[in-house]
Structure 1
Amino acid sequence: MLANAGVPMIGLHFPAMVVLLVPIIAIEYLYGRYTLAIANSRVLSGVAGANLASTLIGIPATWFLMVVLNIATTGGESKGVDTLPEKLASVVLQSAWLMPYEAGLDWMIPTATLVLLVPYFFASVFIERFVLHWIWKGELENGIPAFAWGANGLTYTMLALGTGVMLAQALF
């Protein structure tokens, strides 16, 4: 029975995001240190708080919304994997909770991850902007949106490149 449950991607993504939290904070701190005109300690507290919130709240909430969207677009039914269009539909439309296909999960998991990085990115920017406005109240009010877009653009590009390498390894 459990073998037919599929692959809830949050089970793979959330632990990875927690493990990557410290390196992501470090990268975004360095980005902020050289692009923002505030004390380094303020950069660190803002980046750490914002990334904690986006990881602990944003990723699970976004994944849940994607599951709802996946169910709404597919009815929770398998799209099949016999043809290339079926394979792509399965991975894109059911990216949050992959159907239990025995063959192909090696390429489906990184592909679904690439799909989910898009809504995760937008959720991270939104949540981190909100948190940074709260933590840096009175500082950089106009610079926070650009910083959130730039910092997340940098780290999510790195996440996408790493996932792309895993996909390439699965395909070749």
Structure 2
Amino acid sequence: MAVSSSLSMAATVSQTKTLDLTTVADPLMFRRAVNLTDGTTAGKADKVFHDRRTLAASATEDLDLAGSLLDAFGAVINLVRVKGLFISAAAANENNVIIGNAASNGWATLLNATGTLILRPGASIGAMAGPADATAYAVTAGTGDLLTVANSGAGSAVTYDIVIVGASA
């Protein structure tokens, strides 16, 4: 099975201001992208996990990046490096989706040991390693491989989409 990936983030913004005799424009096109070929070294990835997941009210789950996630073909994924992570909270959510590190064996290379991200309903977040980054976001099986996802409150479930692109070595 071969993996080919194109990861990107983009923002296109245009602001204008009308002056006495003219209108001034400030167009912005911001884009960062990385294309990854099949493999495990810099600029390469060989594992992909993607899913739409739902958490019950006040629920929390730990996603084991090295040993329990399954790819689209049902094979267990053992990540050693995360090259791209994209998470999007459903717009219909009433509660926030909280992304962070597990209390034990937390994957801390992106958010450090205590960092969390709050995704309000409809919000998305993405992180990707550069094409020449051989280290990327390291995963350490058994001691640093759990990514926690939580529902911020009671009363209703939350749904989120997640895509992880990484390497097995």
TM-score (norm 1): 0.22
Per residue, is there more helix in 1 or in 2?
A: 1
Per residue, is there more strand in 1 or in 2?
A: 2
TM-score (norm 2): 0.23
